[in-house]
Structure formats: C-alpha cells, structure tokens
Amino acid sequence: MELAGTAAIVTGAASGLGAATAALLAERGAVVYGFDLGKAVAAAPEPPAGITFVPADVTSETSVRTAMSHVRASGAPLRVAVNCAGVAPSARILGRKGVHALDLFRSVVDVNLVGTFNVLRLAAELIAESAPDDNGQRGVVVNTASIAAYEGQIGQAAYAASKAGIVGLTLAAARDLAQYGIRVVTIAPGIVDTPMMASFTDEVRTGLAAGVPFPARLAQPAEYARLVTMITDHDYLNGETIRMDGALRMAAR
C-alpha cells in the first residue's frame, strides 16, 4: 500500500512507540496526525515535519471524533491507523495493600482495550469513505497488544486481560472489515526501551535484556515502527497478531 500523499493516525504519538511510528510514517510520505492526551501533547517536543499533534482521549467517542475531523479536513485519504496509546499499572489481585481495586481494572481495560476499539471503529469509518486502490484495499489498522496477553506476569491481571482482548479482537475485526478492503493486524511487543523503562535502574534493565534469547537486549521503538511499515507494505498480512519479542517467553515474575 502506497503511503505517500495519504493520511495516517497514530495514538500515543507524543512518546515511545507512537512517536517512533509517527516519525517513520511521515518519513515515508504520509501526513500524520498524532493523537495523545492534551497534557502529553503540551509536554512533547516539536514534532518532525509531516506530523501534527491533536489532543485526544481514546476512551471518548466525542474526543476521537473531534480529532478525526482534522484528518477529514486535510483532504488526504486516511489509509493507516496505529493504536499505540496504553497504560501499564501493576497490582496483585490480593496483595499487601489489600484486594485489587475494581476501578483500576476498569480503567486499564477502558484505555487499552476500549480505547483501541474506539479508534479502530472510527478510523475504519473514515477509511471506508476513500476510494480503494487497484487491489481493492482502502487501508489498515495496526493495534498494539503485548506478550503479556499470552504470559501475564504477577501483578499484570488488568494489563494482561486488556491486551488479550486486543488479540481476540484482531481476527473478528479483520473479518468484519474485509468487505471494505480494510486490514487489521496486531503487534505484540516484548520488552521495549520506551520512556517508561527509563525509570528502572541499569541493573534491572540489564537483567531484563539478559532474559531475551536473541538478540539479548531490549527492543527499540524504531523496530516497532519498522514492523508497522512492513505491515502496511505487505497486503496479505491480515487478521494476525505478530510477536516482536526476540523469542522471549515471560516467567511468572
């Protein structure tokens, strides 16, 4: 699928996976709209050429529809939407502080799973308005799960459940949207060196990297971004979740 002259949406675009993906899509010629919370957009550095930050809360239909209006107004056909927005709090179901807060579980599922679905459905609505290419394709939605969807660790009940929901959504969404020429693919990253990892000590980071079979290091956001563009290029990838984890299989802790 040709990206030059088209529009792309990336959520969570102010940092980490989203920032790297937005930058590469813009480099490939897409007009990129980076959705993120207002406070994240305000704190982010000036984006590279070709990227416009738009404040948006992925859990809100009104907020995402308002952000989508900027994309529609651009006149460029929306071809790509990448869901990178997410949260990853840790809490045991029963721990020293008591039972897992139900509101915390709900909020994680709301951001990670409901937010992903919200952007997917509204992006699909806009993508479907464009003319198909010579192969009948209109666009692709790339979601972000996690290997925690398969090997959730201690303290990851909410996170693992939300990411497993994204994996389960992938094939059903791909089948739903096939008639419109819209593909749906999910990436399940392992341990990526995002700003979230910067809070860990060098010792912890080294230990995490040593647990990866090969290459024995943390993944880089740029590698996630390259996988996104590989998916956009490969028209036969659809309805699949791709692990990007260096063959890592997470232990219980």
Render each residue's pLDDT in the chain as its tens digit; 253 residues.
Answer: 889 999 999 999 999 999 999 999 999 999 999 999 999 999 999 999 999 999 999 999 999 999 999 999 999 999 999 999 999 999 999 999 899 999 999 999 999 999 999 999 999 999 999 999 999 999 999 999 999 999 999 999 999 999 999 999 999 999 999 999 999 999 999 999 988 777 677 877 788 888 999 999 999 999 999 999 999 999 999 999 999 999 999 888 8
DSSP, collapsed to helix, strand or coil, labels residue 170 as helix
Beta strands in the chain (DSSP E): 7-11, 31-36, 51-55, 78-82, 94-95, 98-99, 139-144, 182-189, 241-244
Q: Which CATH number does 7-192+220-244 carry?
A: 3.40.50.720
Q: What are φ and ψ of residue 82, in 5° steps?
A: -120, 120
Q: Where are the domains of the chain?
A: 7-192+220-244
pLDDT digits (tens, 9 = 90+) for 171-194: 999 999 999 999 999 999 999 998
Residue 14 to residues 45, 52, 59, 161, 162: CA-CA distances in angstroms? 8, 10, 17, 25, 22
pLDDT, position 186: 98
Instruction: Sheet with 31-36: list strands edge to edge.
Output: 51-55, 31-36, 7-11, 78-82, 139-144, 182-189, 241-244
Supply 217's token pair.
């290091």
pLDDT, position 205: 77
Residues annotated catalytic, as ranges? 159
pLDDT digits (tens, 9 = 90+) for 152-163: 999 999 999 999
pLDDT, position 199: 65
